[in-house]
């Protein structure tokens, strides 16, 4: 028996047999060419390039998943990039490198640049370039490029890495879990895997060296461990947990058509958070009553350059139509100063979380911001889109933004576009200054949504991504609870709804407390939505309101913790 640690991407426990899928290694044998071979090499380049593009086009036409199509379109753009063509021509014609060597060099240097950017999102985008390079090189070296053709049903898939374009395909088979040696939590592949709600572990060091085809394994994606060839006592320990999880999933699946309502009749709107449109399938499957947070920065990050108005419009429209008549809350880009720095030419900042982040980037780059606002407005054809702004710290920003929205609306109407001009405007409350002045912000908005991931970070001065200060990251700290309460009260006083869209909303122990604090809408990851619905349905509003009132008087977070974990509603 051997236990390996990995990064959990999607929770759950499963037991089963492993199927390892390895991508055939592409060996570059020829490094150099002679002068007289230049022309043949360049002709081969054109031919293989076209074959790779045709293959991608075919995959696009077969794919029903809009995000998969977007990713594949990005891959096509990479192949059509004039800089890429120029570089290959130069390496072949001037440096006399073989075509395969030139392509390998070109992509290796891009992948290295992406890997070295001290920003997780960007470093993860290197997998898109790996994907493209592999597709093209397999054409040039005449190798088949379908590593998952042999994948069977009901196995635990083990692979070194998985590219975004492969993930959706893999999940169409009935695999039990996914384990990869590489990868990270926020890659496109991981995000799609999470939305599919199957146990997934990535970044498992030593995985491929320690496992064989057909091995029995336990995947515990709750704790982030993979147990290879478990002994009988370990099996004995995990079997009941596995059975319990299976039963829970079956039970939760029965809740899809049930209302999200407390025992004493208070309806809570329960919606989904999505990062990329690929998650839409899962959102529809669980019959989510809307999207409470669409983090649009992911569209920008997977993209080479900025997506234009039409590209954005198509994506927003597709989502709005699929969800109609339920609402779709589109949040304008929210990234740290670092994250779009390449595209927007932003200087590196020493303290990006306190720097040019979220709305500050948008207000600094008005043309980019306006493009996004125009695309969102145009997509609001049936009136079910709401627009939300991240990292608001003062009401002045909202007033400023509303003028930009108003101006964009006027321009679009003049240009003859047809859409529902009356769009609901919301602010994220994720900075203490916004929570404290949420009365003024509520006056200017149609809804507010509390982003607890950042609210906790900024209230407690604790970096949400820094493991070494994890013990200070306490969502149930009395200060955070008071800010949530204050925001909810201010919203209600102004007759608008208050939502919550941070991870706190999908943690079992916090759900009754949040209902008790007066939250009207929860927006959570689709994989957790049914669990949240189940917990809300167990609550009695009168009781949890009383509990929340008591808790607001507690002085220490330890007291809060003791109460919320001792007594479930």
Catalytic residues: 188, 501
Among 215, 220, 338, 454, binds ligand PEP (CB under 6 A): 454
Helix (H, G, I), strand (E, B) or coil at 264: coil
What does the block give as tokens for 245? Answer: 């999880």
- Is 241 in a helix, a strand, or coil? helix
Question: Distance from first CA to last CA of the chain, Å, rounded?
Answer: 41
Nearest to 288 by CA among 330, 319, 320, 256: 256
Q: Cβ closer to Mg ion: 100 or 454?
A: 454
User: Of the listed pieces 46-54, 159-167, 429-437, 542-550, which binds Mg ion according to CB under 5 A?
Assistant: 429-437
Strand stretches in 276-327, DSSP E:
291-295
Count the site residues for ligand PEP by CB under 6 A.
10
Binding test (CB under 6 A) with ligand PEP, winner from 130, 334, 397, 520 = 334
Q: Which does 501 bind (CB under 5 to 8 A by kind): ligand PEP, Mg ion, none?
A: ligand PEP
DSSP secondary structure letter of residue 472: G
Please say which residue, 430 or 521, places its beta carbon nearer to ligand PEP. Answer: 430
Q: Which of 451, 512, 518, 527 binds ligand PEP (CB under 6 A)?
A: 451
Nearest distance in Å: CB 426, Mg ion: 13
164 vs 451 by CB, closer to ligand PEP? 451
Cα–Cα dist 357/337, whole Å: 5
Would you say 387 or 569 has its CB closer to ligand PEP? Answer: 387
Q: Which residue, 415, 400, 13, is CA-closest to 224?
A: 13
Sole binder of Mg ion in the list 451, 512, 518, 527 (CB under 5 A) = 451
Give me the least distance between CB of 191 and ligand PEP, in Å please. Answer: 12
**Selected range binding Mg ion among 77-85, 136-144, 453-461, 535-543, rule: CB under 5 A:** 453-461
Which of Mg ion, ligand PEP, none interacts with 452 (beta carbon under 5 to 8 A by kind)?
ligand PEP
**For residues 506 and 525, what is the distance between their CA atoms, to the nearest angstrom?**
8
Q: Cα separation of 302 and 126, whole Å?
A: 10
Q: Map tokens 């009781």 to a residue.
A: 543
Burial 191-200 (b: 16+ CB within 10 A, else e): bbbbbbbbbb
Torsion-angle region of residue 256: left (phi > 0), alpha (psi -120 to 50) or beta?
alpha
Q: How far is the CB of 186 from ligand PEP (least distance, A)?
A: 11
Residue closer to ligand PEP by CB (options 192, 504) is 504
Considering only 39-47, 233-241, 369-377, 452-460, which stretch makes contact with ligand PEP by CB under 6 A? 452-460
Nearest CA among 268, 203, 256, 289 for reference residue 545: 268
Would the CA dihedral through 378, 383, 384, 386 be positive or negative?
A: positive
Is 487 strand, coil or helix?
helix
Minimum distance of ligand PEP from residue 67's CB (angstroms) = 18
Residue 395 CA to residue 407 CA, distance in Å, equals 19
Stretch 289-328: interaction string toward ligand PEP, x if CB under 6 A: ----x-x---------------------------------
Tell me which of 312, 452, 459, 525 binds ligand PEP, using CB under 6 A: 452
Residue holding tokens 């999933």? Answer: 249
User: Closest Cα to residue 145, out of 122, 169, 123, 124?
Assistant: 169
Which of 454, 503, 507, 535 touches Mg ion (CB under 5 A)? 454
Q: How far is the CB of 510 from ligand PEP (least distance, A)?
A: 13
Give the nearest distance from C-beta 452 to ligand PEP in angstroms: 5
Among 502, 516, 526, 527, indicate the residue that binds ligand PEP (CB under 6 A): 502
Listed in sequence order, the residues at least 6 apart from 405 whose beta carbon sits closer than 8 Å to its beta carbon are: 373, 377, 387, 423, 425
- Cβ at position 334, least distance to ligand PEP in Å: 6
Q: Is 275 in the site for ligand PEP (CB under 6 A)?
A: no
The one among 128, 430, 507, 521 contacting Mg ion by CB under 5 A: 430
The residue count of the chain comes to 569
- Contact partner, 215, from Mg ion, ligand PEP, none, Cβ < 5-8 Å per class: none
The site partner of 337 among ligand PEP, Mg ion, none (C-beta below 5 to 8 Å per kind) is: none
Interface of this chain with ligand PEP, residues 6 to 65, rule: CB under 6 A? none
How far, CA to CA in Å, does 293 sit from each of 24, 119, 373?
Answer: 40, 23, 16
Q: Write out the two tokens for 258.
A: 């049930």
The interface region with Mg ion, picked from 99-107, 179-187, 337-345, 423-431 by CB under 5 A, is 423-431
Cα 334 to Cα 345: distance, rounded to the nearest angstrom: 16
Binding window for ligand PEP (CB under 6 A); candidates: 159-167, 168-176, 448-456, 544-552: 448-456
Residue of 228, 286, 398, 501 that binds ligand PEP (CB under 6 A) = 501
206-221: burial string, b at 16+ Cβ within 10 Å, e else? ebbebbeeebebbbbb
Report the alpha-carbon distance of residue 452 to residue 480 in Å, rounded. Answer: 8
Q: What are phi and psi of 544, to 5 degrees?
A: -70, -25
Residues 98-137 that bind Mg ion (CB under 5 A): none
Given the complex with ligand PEP, which of 230 and 352 has the nearer CB atom?
352
Give the shortest CB-461-to-ligand PEP separation in angstroms: 15
CA–CA separation, 549 vs 554, rounded Å?
Answer: 10
Q: Which is nearer to ligand PEP, 274 or 501 (CB)?
A: 501
Residues within window 385-444 making contact with ligand PEP, judged by CB under 6 A = 430
Rounded to a whole number of angstroms, the minimum distance from the CB of residue 177 to ligand PEP is 26
Residue closer to ligand PEP (CB basis): 44 or 464: 464
Query: Which of residues 178 and 274 has its CB atom nearest to ligand PEP in the complex?
Result: 274
- Do 514 and 484 touch, CB atoms closer than 8 A? yes
Q: How far is CA 219 from the centre of its chain?
A: 22
- Per CB under 6 A, the segment of 33-41, 188-196, 243-251, 445-453 that binds ligand PEP is 445-453
Report d(CA 237, CA 278) in Å as an integer: 36
Q: Which is nearer to ligand PEP, 211 or 501 (CB)?
A: 501
Site of interaction with ligand PEP (CB under 6 A)? 293, 295, 334, 430, 451-454, 501-502
């Amino acid at each position: 028996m051997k236990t390996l640690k990995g990064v959990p991407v999607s929770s759950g426990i499963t037991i089963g047999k492993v199927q390892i899928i390895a991508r055939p290694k592409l060996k570059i044998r020829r490094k150099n060419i002679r002068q007289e071979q230049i022309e043949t090499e360049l002709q081969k380049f054109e031919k293989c390039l076209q074959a790779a593009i045709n293959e991608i086009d075919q995959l696009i036409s077969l794919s029903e998943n809009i995000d998969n199509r977007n990713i594949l379109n990005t891959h096509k753009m990479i192949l059509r990039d004039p800089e890429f063509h120029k570089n290959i021509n130069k390496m072949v014609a001037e440096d006399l490198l073989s075509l395969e060597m030139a392509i390998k060099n070109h992509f290796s240097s891009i992948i290295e640049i992406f890997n070295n950017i001290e920003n997780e999102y960007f470093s993860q985008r290197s997998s898109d370039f790996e994907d493209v390079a592999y597709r093209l090189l397999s054409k040039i070296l005449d190798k088949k490029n379908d590593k998952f053709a042999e994948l069977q049903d009901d196995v635990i898939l083990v692979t070194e890495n998985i590219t975004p374009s492969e993930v959706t395909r893999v999940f169409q088979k009935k695999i039990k879990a996914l384990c990869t040696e590489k990868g990270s939590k926020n890659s496109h592949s991981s995000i799609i895997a999470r939305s599919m709600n199957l146990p997934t572990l990535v970044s498992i060091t030593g995985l491929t060296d320690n496992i064989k085809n057909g091995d029995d394994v336990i995947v515990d994606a709750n704790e982030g461990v993979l147990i290879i060839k478990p002994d009988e006592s370990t099996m004995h320990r995990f079997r009941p947990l596995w059975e319990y999880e299976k039963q829970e999933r079956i039970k939760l699946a029965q809740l899809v058509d049930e209302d999200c309502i407390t025992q004493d009749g208070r309806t809570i709107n329960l919606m989904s958070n999505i990062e990329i449109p690929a998650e839409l399938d899962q959102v529809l499957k669980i019959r989510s009553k809307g999207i409470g947070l669409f983090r649009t920065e992911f569209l920008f990050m997977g993209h080479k350059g900025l997506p234009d108005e039409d590209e954005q419009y198509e994506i927003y429209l597709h989502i709005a139509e699929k969800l109609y008549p339920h609402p779709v809350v589109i949040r304008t880009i929210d990234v740290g100063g670092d994250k779009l720095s390449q595209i927007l030419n932003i200087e590196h900042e020493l303290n990006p979380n306190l720097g040019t982040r979220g709305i500050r980037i948008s207000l600094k780059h008005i043309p980019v911001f306006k493009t996004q606002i125009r695309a969102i407005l145009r997509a609001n054809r049936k009136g079910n889109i709401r627009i939300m702004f991240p990292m608001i710290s003062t009401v002045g920003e909202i007033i400023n933004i509303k003028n930009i929205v108003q101006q964009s609306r006027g321009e679009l109407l003049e240009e003859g576009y047809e859409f529902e001009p009356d769009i609901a405007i919301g602010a994220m409350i994720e900075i203490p200054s916004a929570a404290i002045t949420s009365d003024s912000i509520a006056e200017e908005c149609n809804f507010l949504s509390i982003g607890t991931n950042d609210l906790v970070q900024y209230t407690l001065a604790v970096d949400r991504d820094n493991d070494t200060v994890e013990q200070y990251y306490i969502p149930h700290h009395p200060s955070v609870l008071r800010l949530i309460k204050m925001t909810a009260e201010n919203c209600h006083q102004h007759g608008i709804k208050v939502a919550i869209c941070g991870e706190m909303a999908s943690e079992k122990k916090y759900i009754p407390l949040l209902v008790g604090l007066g939250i009207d809408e929860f927006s959570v990851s689709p994989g957790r939505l049914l669990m949240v619905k189940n917990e809300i349905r167990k609550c009695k509003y009168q009781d949890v309101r009383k509990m929340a009132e008591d808790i607001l008087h507690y002085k220490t977070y330890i007291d809060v913790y003791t109460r919320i974990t001792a007594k479930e509603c």
